[in-house]
Amino acid sequence: MSMAGRGMAVLIASLLTSITSTALAQQVEPRTLAPCGAFQTSGFFQDHKLEVQFLLYTPRNPTCAQVIHINQSGSIKSSMFNTSLDTKIIIHGFRVLGSKPSWTENLVEALLDAGEANVVVIDWVSGSTAKYNQAVENVPKLTILLVPLINRFLELGSSLESLHLIGVSLGAHVAGHVGSHFGGRIGWITGLDPAAYKYTRTHPEDRLDPGDALFVDAVHTDTDNFGIRIPVGHIDYFINGGRDQPGCPYITSSPYKYLICDHMRSVAVYINAVRGRCSFVGFPCSSYKEFQEGLCVDCETTQLSSCPRLGRRDALIIPGEFVIHDTPSESQNYTSTVSYKTQDPPKDILLFLLTTAAEPYCAHHILLEFTLSELKDISITMEVQLSSLNSSSSKTKITIPKQTLEGRGLVAHGAHLCLLHQVEIRVMGSRFWRRGPEFSGTLCMTELPMNRRKSMACLPRIISFSGNTRQTFDISEDRRFACP
């Protein structure tokens, strides 16, 4: 064999040896990955002793939970936890059937997509199933277990101000207990329809309240059933008045979904708010009735100068300091900056907003105003329905009391005002044996919030009702309502 041939043979043998050695090494020392953490399950007849898991998600493991432990040396330090990031702690509530909350993965994904963060899901299913009173008794016990977790984060370099606790239903009061333990110095607590039973009449120290964090916001969607009806934060969002939510089923069609739909709508809306699919703007008002009647059309109050948006931290309150806000997008037709007119943290600010009936629940608040041509000795009520090509129609009622010229109403529509193509007005109260009232007037509309630069756009002519009870107007080509 020539020298060249002998050299090639040596090279090939060397390569084969290297490949064989690598394969053997892989067989001897296979690479093992830790399994993804999974929720516990429980059942109605099982022992409901409190057992807790801490499931960590980060930008490095966004879909595979890493179980961390506070009683194992180095567990958190060797995990994916990053002390330079904000930390979101999610606390679920009462679990009737002992199953994993179906919404946790969506909320984790939304939070991680919104910005780099540590997201810790608190799994306490075993202590929150079937027996509500026992779950309530476990709230302070769970708090005792969460405090060392947060202390460990602090020891590793995190700050209390970087923590955001998100509690759902009963979990909102767990967050309040934790915040109270740290003297209200945690940065942010969000309560999603905080639980009512056992908490509505209790002392603020025993439930979520504004003193539990530098900023506490709450979302209310079921105040006539499972959700607490009183304000519990610096600002409280009452979605669709905080009670019955559009799109929820009737009890005859799905009893279980009927029971939980309103309550869990808070979570669904919050997830969409975090994802930025909608700008859920809250309007300060003293009552939902006044809000519906179009009496709260801007954001000026003694404490606010603009409207907060659900899911945003630009409303963060730091006592004794002014607030630094995000820069508003040019595409938004309202001011996104939230300013406070006092250096003291405001509290019990009631915010109202409307949603549509279907995902992602985005709604444009459209104010309707009907002005009579002359005073009448009777009260007039009309139903106004708005239609657009790509959204479901929506409607509201306007009542003009007797000897009053003007009536207002507010409607939630899935499209901008400028995309409407039809307006229908139907006079209420008429019957086939009774003529409807005779009157005339002008219908004007605008999209909220109003400001000094925004004016109302009116239908092009005087509308007259004389026996007829329904009129329809095509505004698709009307420049008064055209998009800018």
Query: Would you please indicate which residues are annotated as catalytic (active-site) residues?
Result: 169, 193, 263
CB 483 within 8 A of CB 419: yes
Strand duo 163-168 + 188-192: pairing = parallel
Q: Cα separations (Å) of 198 from 144, 167, 337, 354?
A: 20, 16, 37, 28
Contact 364, 413 (CB under 8 A): yes
Asked whether the beta carbons of 163 and 150 are under 8 A apart, the reply is: yes
d(CA 56, CA 64): 8
Torsion of CA 296, 298, 302, 303, to 10 degrees: 110
Element (H, E) at 238: strand 235-239
Burial of 106 (0-12, 13-18, 19+ CB in 10 A): middle
DSSP string across 351-402: EEE---SSTT---EEEEEEEEESS--SS-EEEEEEEEETTEEEEEEEEEE-T
The residue with tokens 């120290």 is: 205
Whether 244 contacts 227, CB under 8 Å? no
Q: Please tell me the distance from the alpha carbon of residue 107 to that of residue 270, in angstroms, as a whole number.
A: 8
CA-closest candidate to residue 338, choices 360, 358, 318 = 318
- Interatomic CA distance for residues 153 and 111, integer angstroms: 19
Pick from 122, 86, 347, 325: which is nearest to 218 by CA? 347
Measuring CA to CA, which residue among 248, 291, 251 is closest to residue 268?
248
Structure tokens at 125: 């299913």
Q: Is 226 exposed, middle or buried (0-12, 13-18, 19+ CB in 10 A)?
A: buried
Q: Cα–Cα distance between 209 and 291 in angstroms, integer? A: 24
Grouping H, G, I as helix, E, B as strand and the rest as coil, residue 282 is coil
Let me know: does 154 contact 148? Beta carbons within 8 Å: no
> Letter for the amino acid at 58?
T
Q: How far apart are CA 227 and CA 234, in angstroms?
A: 17
